[in-house]
Structure formats: C-alpha cells, structure tokens
Amino acid sequence: MIGTLSHETKVIVQGITGRMGRTHAALMRAYGTNIVGGTSTRADVPEAAGVPVFRDCAAAVAATGAVASVVMAPAMETLAGAREALDAGIKLIVTVAEGIPLHDAIAIGRAVRAIGATWIGGSTPGMAIPGEIKLGFLPDVCLRPGPLAIMSKSGTLSYEAGYRLAREGLGQSLWIGVGGDPVKGVRFADLLPIFFADARTAGIVLVGEVGGTEEEDCADAYAQLGAQKPLYALIAGREAKEGVSMGHAGALVFGDTGTIGSKTQRLRAAGARVFDTVDGLIASCARDFSDLST
C-alpha cells in the first residue's frame, strides 16, 4: 500500500506516551500526517500529542479505523509491537528501532507476509510522500514534492541528498528508508516495481552503503525489469577499513560481495549511474531533470 498513502491515511503511533513517541507524533501531525491515535501501557494518560491514547492496537483500530502504524518501541519490544499491530488489522508498519534481534526480525517478516501487509524497517527513519504524509522522523527541511523517488539505507546521507535536491527545485515523489538491519521488511529490489509503476516518479535515487548484497540484488532486479526509469546511485563507505566494525548491523562484506567495487560494477552493468560524491549525484539529477524543477 506504499504508493497509495495520502494525507487521508489513518495512522497510529505505538508507544506514543514515551518521549520519542510523543515528540514525533506531534511532528508528524504538524507535517500533515493523519495521526488518529496512539497506544500505551500507561492507563493514566488518555491523550498525547493531541490524539487519544488506547490500551492496545485492537482498541485503537476499532475506534479510529487506522490502517498504518509507526512503532516507537525499543528493539527488544518491536516484535511484540508488530504482532499486536498486525493482529489488529494494520496493513503497514514502520519500525524505527535499530538492532532488532535477528530471530525477532525473521518472525516479523513471516507474520507480515502471512497476511499480505507491508513492513518498513528496522533501523529506518521512516518514509514519506512529500506534501502528503510522513511516517517516522525524516526532517521536514529535506522533503519537497517532486519527480525523484529516494530509497536509502543511510539516514543522514539521504537527508543530505534530499535537502540538496530540494534546493535545486527537485523534490521527491516517494522516500523510503529501507533501514540498515540485516533482516528487514523491504529491500531496494522490492521497491523498484513500486517506483516504476508510480506516475509521479521520473527517476530513482539509491543511497546505499558498503556491506551486504542489497545493492547488487537491486542491480540484478533493475536489469531484469528493463531499467524502466533512470537510476542514480551513491554508495557510502569508500574509506571503510577492512576488519573494522562500523555502520549498520547489515553492513557486512563477504569475500568479493558487499564491497564498493562489487556494488559499483553491478549497478553500472545494469545501466545505473553511480557517483562517488553527493555533488556528482545532485549535479547529474539537476541537469537531467531541469525541465521538472520548480
């Protein structure tokens, strides 16, 4: 349901009475997201961030008709939160916590697939359709409606790319933070059919990082699907030292896969344009889509 989200989509925030939940529920509402309620184990708080608080997702969904949830829970509590949301009929869950235990993440993925729901996360800043809806904590200053879809494993680097594209008059049609955990709800390759089918999207920006095979898998899918829209890629971690632990839990290199060289080679072979710097990516997008800038 990613491509059909709008300012009318009813959203709840699980853990809304916590500091992060309350803060970001208010910020999402201020952006225009239709936050209709939240959940909390605290029975003494009937309201938070201007919306009612319910004892659980079942009560929240019954009262509000919510179809999406942002799970503001610690990593060790994310599985329970996701199961509660799915059992209540939620069709889209966004889990922001980093470091969800591996077996918990596998269980979330299995539960999501069983009912045909969508899971974004873990370790994600969220997603947005600029001008319509924001789920998570993407900075408003980076969001602007426009022709480029962004998918990213790196939160801060995608903020930089989004902000600088917006300054060029080029905003985003869709923005999905796939997250940096090794097991996650959506991967780059899963998003390509959505972006290709989206009439608002003229081009795709991929912000990846060293480690894992997600970029290589995306390159294969991009070629198999016929490279229907231009793909611009920036891979972070060129200076990552071998044997040094850094970045996300999913940033693992195995042999010749997961390296900057492997990702760059596979993406370019598939027809994507790969850049060494944010400057290069921004300049190319600005040049190619100058007729769509505002």
Q: Is 248 a catalytic residue?
A: yes
Strand-pair category, 47-48 with 51-54: antiparallel
Query: Which of 7, 24, 103, 248 does the annotation list as catalytic?
Result: 248
Q: Which residues are catalytic?
A: 248
